[in-house]
Amino acid sequence: EVILEGQGLTRRYTTDTGRVLTACRNVDITLSVGETLGIVGESGCGKSTLLRLLTRLEKPDEGKLLFRGKDVTGLKGEALRRDRRHIQMVFQDPAAAFFPRMKAGEAIIEPLLNFNRLSRQQRLKRQEELLELVQLPKDYAGRYPHSMSGGQRQRLGIARALALDPEILICDEATAALDVSVQKRIIDLLMELQRRRRLGIIFVSHDLALVQSIAHRVMVMYLGGVVECLPGEQVWERA
């Protein structure tokens, strides 16, 4: 059951020197419900550009994007805003996305408040649910993200990404800044969430071995194009 499909996605930029650079070249991509798709490639190969097209921060110059079979390439305004809820991102350092004066509980439900008015009680309930989902104690709601460890902050980043109940999670170098043991636990959590929620996960990294160990399929990018699609080994085992 394909949930997201990109067909011939192409994005060009004009550089400072006036040269036209194809950052993303005719990329076909599909993601199924509950699937982990890995994307690897060296710096500058077009990974971030592709992600901006998938999350609709930018429009492709050519190609189209389908969500559950519906063409969403041309969506604008309110329709675009609503549609983008389905695809959420987890970044390398989520703390960068948190306002320094915001407590963890507020930070994780913030995306929700752009869409819904919630009573104080509803907010607290949602904060608790999300903290539980990422296996953090309830009372962390009152702490500041900068007082937490890297792994704890990444759990907050995942909680925030889940606040809108998305169907797809895009993890962009989400474990790159973490120690190996912490990295493993964050991936355990992602795999657990995937299993329970049937999340589609796109896991972007420069670390091919890691990506292969968790993905069902791996796309290798080079100079803006997809050069190879490998089967993942998906040998990752939960601790």
Alpha-carbon gap, residue 205 to 110, rounded angstroms: 27
Q: How far is the CB of 167 from ligand ADP (least distance, A)?
A: 9
Task: Rule CB under 6 A: choose which of 19, 70, 101, 196 binds ligand ADP.
Answer: 196
Residue 26 interacts with ligand ADP (CB under 6 A): yes or no: no
Q: Taking contact as CB under 6 A, which single stretch among the options 30-38, 91-99, 128-136, 140-148 is the one that binds ligand ADP?
A: 128-136
Distances from the Cα of 144 to the Cαs of 50, 76, 100, 104, 239, in angstroms?
Answer: 33, 35, 8, 6, 29
- For the record, the structure tokens of 39 come out as 């994307």
Among 1, 139, 165, 228, binds ligand ADP (CB under 6 A): 165
Strands in 20-32's sheet, in edge-to-edge order, are 20-32, 2-14, 62-67, 70-71
Is residue 186 a contact residue for ligand ADP (CB under 6 A)? no
> Contact, 206 vs 214, CB < 8 A?
no
Name the token pair of 114: 């752009």
State which of residues 93, 129, 173, 207 lies at the interface with ligand ADP (CB under 6 A).
129
Count of positions on this chain that bind ligand ADP (CB under 6 A): 19
Among 4, 6, 31, 47, binds ligand ADP (CB under 6 A): 47
Q: What are the angstrom distances between the C-alpha of 12 and each of 1, 5, 54, 189?
A: 31, 20, 15, 36
Q: Which residues bind ligand ADP (CB under 6 A)?
A: 13, 15, 21, 23, 41, 43-49, 129-130, 133, 162, 165, 196-197
